[in-house]
Chain A
Amino acid sequence: MTQWSGYLGLILQGALITIELTLMGSVLALITAFLAGLGRLSRFFVLRALATAYIEFFRGTSIFVQLFWAYFVLPFIGISLTPLQAGVLALGLNVGAYAAEVVRGAIQSIGREQYEACTALNLGRWQAMRHVILPQALLVMLPTFGNNAIELLKATAVVSLISLTDLTFQAQVVRSQTGNTLVPFATILIIYFVLALIISWGVRSLERRMARGLDGVRV
């Protein structure tokens, strides 16, 4: 029975890797989401086409295939990635493509009168985006970003298949060493669920904070 503490330690190490992956993946996803989302709204055809191609490609193939491609195919064309780098890259770019559509939708949901007011105040395109449109659009994006972050957390389980020692990988290790199946898998299911709850709680409180001072602005 004393061994269980050792196995629990193993699973907690895996949890750290999962959290690390989720955080780094989210940052990459956030950056690509804004680049691609704004790109789709660009005045320039080339930027729009590039952003659309990126979004359709990464939404069209599954995260699993992308991960395997990044890990097994890229080395043959001269780019060697560690499992962690491949994981962050695939997760970030995949979820970023979904989130890009959220960015685009939120920006388009801001009413025409806001744009007209910006023109009336003689703001440039960038100024209007930075000071008027984005502060309102961010609030619209937040809840869906929360869902995307949970999807990303769930997708991290896949990296165990390219030998990254995350929660799922460690559960498999415990399973093969102890022969017990219920305890490791039930434990990590609960840990994943708690992490998902933390994300949704965090996003909700962030939403409340950001909504401050915008009362009455949004209908």
Chain B
Amino acid sequence: MEWDWNFVREIMPTLIQGVKITILATLLGSVLAAIVGLAIALARRSPNRGLSRTVGFLAEFIRGTPLLVQLYFIFYVLPDIGVLLPPLVAGVIGLGLHYGTYTAEVYRAGIDNVPRGQWEAAKACNLNARQTWTHIIMPQAIPPMIPALANYFIAMFKETPLLSAITVLELMNQAKSVANTYYRYVEPMTLVGAFFLVISLFSVVLLRWLERRYGKIER
């Protein structure tokens, strides 16, 4: 089957609509993942054993099961208990929760890497808990986290095609519907692949820059 540039031009506007939704979902998902991750990381540090254990197990569970099934769960099970979500919202919640369990580990490592002496010095200076966090710990913990967080947000970006399974009209879904209408798979699927490849190659450059700017990724 030949590659047809006219067909490519014809389907471009539809695909670009999908790209917008893909990017929107990634941005919203990243914000949610950053917040959820922080909440999980703080809950796991809580002196309350019950809380930290429960949250730890839940995070482990979410990390050990497929995102696709979690999306189905949010999309199909929640309406039964009266929570009706638009597909995009369900998708963003799924992405945010799933990647929140990963970013939680980044936060944990970042906070643990602040030397003990800093905590002790903060106590010696008579800073209270809030002051210690905002003025001493966070400013030192956050910069090294940035490349690792960005890494997960890029990974999330590559998982957004899964949202097509819960009827979000993102890039993959638009490509599929175009392909099914004209029964031509080569161009739409290849364009989707090329789009993701180009964005990831750019993001590799961005990551390298972030690493140089903010220090090495913790592994």
Q: Give chain A's interface residues, CB within 8 Å of chain B.
A: 56-57, 59-66, 68-69, 72-73, 76-77, 150, 153-158, 160-161, 168, 171-172, 175, 181-182, 185-186, 188-189, 192-193, 196-197
Contacts and interface: CB of A to CB of B under 8 A. Distances in A.
A193 B64 contact: yes
B66 A181 contact: no
Contacts of B185: 72-73, 76
Interface magnitude class on chain B: 20 to 34
Given A60-B197, A65-B196, A158-B162, A76 B64 contact: no
B7 interface: no
Nearest to B185: A72
Contact of B193 (A65, A186, A193): A65
Contacts of A156: 66
Contacts of B1: 76-77
A172 B162 CA distance: 15
- Interface of chain B, main secondary structure: helix
A26 B173 CA distance: 28
A172 B166 CA distance: 12
B192 interface: yes
Interface in B58-80: 61, 64-70, 72-73, 76-77, 80
B73 A185 contact: yes
Given A56-B201, A60-B201, A158 B65 contact: no
Contacts of B65: 154, 189, 192-193, 196
B211 to A, nearest CB: 15
Interface of B: 1, 61, 64-70, 72-73, 76-77, 80, 158-162, 165, 172, 176, 179, 185-186, 189-190, 192-193, 196-197, 200-201, 204
Given A158-B162, A185-B76, A65 B67 contact: no
B159 A189 contact: no
Q: Which 5 residue pairs across A and B have the least CB separation, nearest first?
A: A157-B66, A60-B200, A196-B64, A62-B158, A64-B161
A150 B66 CA distance: 10
A158 B172 CA distance: 13
B193 A168 contact: no
Contacts of A168: 66, 68-69, 72
